[in-house]
Structure 1
Amino acid sequence: MTGERVHRTSHSAEVDAPAGVVYGLISDAARWPLFFPENVHVERLEFDGTNERLRMWATTGRGVRSWISERTQDPGTRCVQFHQTHPQLPVTTMHGTWIVEERPDGTSRLTLLHDFAVLGDSAGDLAWAEQVLERNARAELASLTSLAERWRRFDDLVLSFEDTVRIDAPAEPVYDFLYRVGDWPELVPHVTRLELTEDTPGVQIMAMDTRTADGATHTTESVRICFPHAGRIVYKQTRTPALMEAHTGEWNVVCDEHGVSAVAQHSVVLREEAVERVLGPGADLARARRHVREVLGRNSTATLQLARQYAQSVTRAA
């Protein structure tokens, strides 16, 4: 690493939540797309209870990048160390540590350290890397703080569910229907507009207008990561309806000896301050949960039923 010096940044936040709660959010990287606005998807590749390898996707400007991160969890000291195995140039090394300190009054101090080097120690590249780390670290600390400080209501704010449609057809046309999202305005009645960009195969960036049962139109923006060999498409909404602070999901086509199960999975963090504004005076989180479950479930189930019709018609025609 000739000519390259290691630089360090440090960012901290005071969190009005127990240290165990804060550490739990950091250690559960698979759910980071719900916690951090930039994170799109996290795949755990290996985990032995202490050491793990993660494949991570995140938004950067108007694009999406992916990398492998190796982490070591230490719940005893409430520290998580990480490093990127192949950082994106001009960064040549990237290591870091999450540190959660317990305060005597039951609150926490959360610190995020980064140790990194840039190619040739270029002043311009160093300034760029520091700017990116500054922006991302502040956003991550703010998101974690906001979520952790609502820990007493966490189970009311976060909900996950899935719906399944059985399909008597091969998996390939089912997946094809779900993958060809650019055609949905012609195929899916509740989708009225869709703009799609797929500069990298299997990484889809889209903006979509959907019509609800009451005739209203909602605009969402999403990033989708497609795994054709596994029959999976995972996504993160980067622009959500007013009632949802975060929304991730997955389309999964599963084969068995009797046919195919097409599964739509959703995970949501509710935007508590929008509940009464969206649903009316007196509405609470319980009503918001029922509303989101009904709306998302209805739309995704309708899409799966259309995928079934398409797959079965293609199969009969063949």
Structure 2
Amino acid sequence: MAPTATSETEAPHVTEHSITVSAPPATVYALVADVTTWPQVFGPTVHVEVLEEAAPGGGEQLLRIWAVAGERVRTWTSRRTLDPVARTITFRQVVTAAPVASMGGEWRVQELENGGTRVTLLHDYLAVNGDPAAEELIAQAVDRNSRAELLALKNTAEQGDIREELHFTFSDSEIVFGAAGDVFAFLDRADLWPQRLPHVARLELNEDEPGIQRMDMDTRSPDGSTHNTTSVRVCFEDRNVIVYKQLRVPVAMSGHTGRWVIEPLEDGTTRATSWHTVTLDPDGVRTALGPEATLSEARTLVREALGANSSTTLRHAKQFAEEARAES
């Protein structure tokens, strides 16, 4: 059951945030409408799943969203109504996360006379039991996330055609002669990676609630240097899937999300796949690789670096699962 406010007649708090975007409204609306891109576009968003959908591109959707709010990752379920003609998207949380008792709002995407776009993001909310301290926490989170989301939307929409060069996805796989559950167990216990994986120098893992993990990791590069990343992971043990988002990324990237997918195959083996989705930062690429560096060169280097680490992890997970099968 979702938490409820003290009084059904209590007036909700209403906020409004807006931004001007130098991009066509159709481009901006498409970014808001397509939730599969949100973890790459919006900093607070970790993962989104479409649970129900009336029709692609319009009508109603039921979503489950995981996002960073303050120092924690919170998850809730929302129902959206998309109107691509009016370019509005209304939303209402149907399963909230405390201290929120109710939350809803609307995206409005309006064309300006100069061909640009005005985006307005409205929220209305109530705190559980009308608690003033909770109201203040919600107000701060709504303000912080709304400003961050609108700025990220602006930056992404204004990339124009170059966004196709900046954004890419790739994967690496291993066939494992072992159980999917053992592969998942290896990947889930990231706190043991410094003892299990040669490229992990240090890893601090916190799991405030089952299945939601925060990681602070130092990774060794081939040249002996280390770089630090912080990530949030959502672990679905029932599906043998782990999704993650890096909150602190290397300078050449503006976004990095990924997933570990473990699939039992008909022949009794298991396929373990590491997926990466990366968005490059053009200024960061020049800072990291030099002013003459191209996006193509950066894509190749990022692909090699991330792929090398995930492939190493997959090989060790394979060994772990196959040894477990041999011992059983």
**SS of residue paired to 1:48:** strand
Paired residues of 1:4 and 1:120 also in contact (CA < 8 A): no
Moved over 6 A (4+): none
Are 1:39 and 2:54 counterparts?
no
Q: How far apart are the structure 1 equivalents of 2:307 and 2:263?
A: 19
* Worse-superposed segment, 2-11 or 48-57: 2-11
Taking the TM superposition and a 5 Å limit, the aligned residue runs for 1:14-163 are 14-49=20-55, 50-119=59-128, 121-163=130-172
Q: How far apart are the structure 2 equivalents of 1:2 and 1:213?
A: 60
**SS of residue paired to 2:95:** coil
Question: Match of 1:200?
Answer: 209
Paired residues of 1:4 and 1:119 also in contact (CA < 8 A): no
Unaligned runs of at least 5 residues, structure 2: 1-6
Question: Match of 2:312?
Answer: 302
Taking the TM superposition and a 5 Å limit, the aligned residue runs for 1:164-203 are 164-203=173-212
Q: 1:233 to 1:218 in 2, by over 3 A?
A: same
Q: How far apart are the structure 1 equivalents of 2:263 and 2:131?
A: 49
Question: Match of 1:10?
Answer: 16
Cα shift at 1:170: 1.6
Q: What's the % identity of the aligned pairs?
A: 42
* Worse-superposed segment, 97-106 or 128-137: 128-137
CA deviations on 1:126-152 (whole Å, 9 max, x unpaired) are 444333222211111111111111122
Cα shift at 1:91: 3.1
Cα shift at 1:241: 1.2
CA deviations on 1:239-287 (whole Å, 9 max, x unpaired) are 1111111110000101111211100001111111011221123101111
Q: How far apart are the structure 1 equivalents of 2:204 and 2:215?
A: 5
Unaligned runs of at least 5 residues, structure 1: none
Question: Match of 1:286?
Answer: 296
Taking the TM superposition and a 5 Å limit, the aligned residue runs for 1:215-234 are 215-234=224-243
Q: 1:34 to 1:255 in 2, by over 3 A?
A: same
* Worse-superposed segment, 48-57 or 2-11: 2-11
Paired residues of 1:56 and 1:67 also in contact (CA < 8 A): yes
Q: How far apart are the structure 1 equivalents of 2:112 and 2:262?
A: 47
Q: How far apart are the structure 2 equivalents of 1:233 and 1:91?
A: 27
Q: TM-score, normalized by length of structure 2? A: 0.93
Paired residues of 2:245 and 2:258 also in contact (CA < 8 A): yes
Cα shift at 1:114: 1.1
* Worse-superposed segment, 233-242 or 87-96: 87-96
**SS of residue paired to 2:96:** coil
**SS of residue paired to 1:159:** strand
Q: How far apart are the structure 2 equivalents of 1:146 and 1:208?
A: 28
Q: How far apart are the structure 2 equivalents of 1:301 and 1:183?
A: 17
Paired residues of 2:178 and 2:322 also in contact (CA < 8 A): yes
* CA RMSD in angstroms, aligned pairs only: 1.5
Q: TM-score, normalized by length of structure 1? A: 0.96
* Worse-superposed segment, 130-139 or 222-231: 130-139
Q: How far apart are the structure 1 equivalents of 2:262 and 2:131?
A: 47
Q: How far apart are the structure 2 equivalents of 1:178 and 1:127?
A: 38
Q: How far apart are the structure 2 equivalents of 1:204 and 1:120?
A: 29
